[in-house]
Amino acid sequence: MGLEINFFKEKKMMSDSNKLTFQNLINLTRSSEIKFKQGNFKGAIEDKREVRLILNSKSVDRKIMKKFKEELSNLYDSKFDLIFDHKLIIDELKRDEIVKFLEKKSDAKYKEGDYKGAIKALRRSEKYLAK
């Protein structure tokens, strides 16, 4: 009986942990967007890089990733979105290649000190991730 209770407590804690991770991702993403719109490109790219670190960690499962992609869709929703149109005609493998290319481009720009270029490339890669 005690083992069952511990299992459910552990499962609930994992669920709470997932909620906390997801909320952290959303807060950082929104913070980055605000900083970007204010012209604070260095602050914006720092927040986005932290989001990427969290997304690449073991604490992010498929459920969190799916919810995060849905949130990105809401964030980047636009009436005229060429990336959305392009995503309709490419397969998932090509989409992943584009995302990796844009992330590498962002890293290169960041190392050069071009924070504006770095954040633009990373934001573009997120648009390809969005549903």
Query: Do 122 and 68 meet the contact criterion of CB atoms below 8 Å apart?
Result: no
The pair of structure tokens assigned to 93 is 């493998």
Residues 40-59: what's their mean pLDDT? 92
Q: Where are the alpha helices (DSSP H) in the chain?
A: 2-37, 41-55, 62-75, 82-89, 92-112, 115-129
Cα(48)–Cα(27) distance, integer angstroms: 11
Query: Do 92 and 18 meet the contact criterion of CB atoms below 8 Å apart?
Result: no
Cα(102)–Cα(83) distance, integer angstroms: 13
The sign of the torsion formed by the CA atoms of 30, 33, 56, 129 equals positive
- For 57-83, what is each residue's pLDDT tens digit? 887 888 888 888 888 877 776 666 677
pLDDT for 78:
66
pTM of the complete model: 0.74
Whether 32 has a pLDDT exceeding 90, the answer reads: yes
Whether 40 has a pLDDT exceeding 50, the answer reads: yes
- For 99-116, what is each residue's pLDDT tens digit? 899 999 999 999 999 999
Contacts of 35 (CB under 8 A, 6+ apart): 41, 43, 44, 47
Whether 11 has a pLDDT exceeding 60, the answer reads: no
